[in-house]
Amino acid sequence: MTREQRAKRVQEFLDEHFPETPIPLHHKDAYTLLIAVLLSAQCTDERVNKTTPALFALADTPDAMIRLSVEQIEAIVRPCGLAPRKSKAIYDLSAILVRQHASQVPADMQALEALPGVGHKTASVVMSQAFGVPAFPVDTHIHRLAQRWGLTQGKNVVQTENDLKKLYPPESWNRLHLQIIFYGRQICSARQCNGLHCPLCREFYPNRTRPTSVNKT
């Protein structure tokens, strides 16, 4: 199988087995999604979803958020880890949204990446899931699976993202991003598969005998 053939088979398989792709992080608009994605760094979506209701009950808009202190925010988001950094980023980006963007989350990748605590992946998630703009956010699940399936040899998520964007048309990126995440969590996790056991790994590499290692810098 060529790389292009494997990519096509991945999409066919995921469309069959994961036809529904709900957004894992609970939110009601672009702002609450942005905050939830920021909190999800080095934290599970499940934990974020348990934490954000208390935060959003107090502040679910930039204007309301900056009426809280950083210490108040930190006390609520502590279960998500990295609380001092995340709470300050939430406060600071909210202040910037109020001052520079009329309290609205900008539907612009460059403007999003300029916000405190918002990297390329977070901005890509917001662009794709809040605004429907084609983006292919690559997290650790996607990076790992793309390598196991022979879709990339990228040593980091940036290279993997570029390779996947070349293999798939833009109109498929938003849906496929979520489908691969679901597959990686439910079927081809780091512990359950290691490149040897899941249906797609076995189909693509039936003679593979050793666990795959993930290229990363």
Q: Provide the annotated active-site residues.
A: 121, 139
CA–CA gap between residue 13 and residue 17 (Å, rounded): 6
Q: Are 40 and 79 in contact (CB under 8 A)?
A: no
Q: Which two tokens stand for residue 7?
A: 């990519």
Q: Are 177 and 121 in contact (CB under 8 A)?
A: no
Q: Write down the H helix ranges in the chain.
A: 3-17, 30-39, 45-58, 62-65, 70-77, 83-100, 109-113, 120-131, 140-148, 157-167, 170-186, 199-204
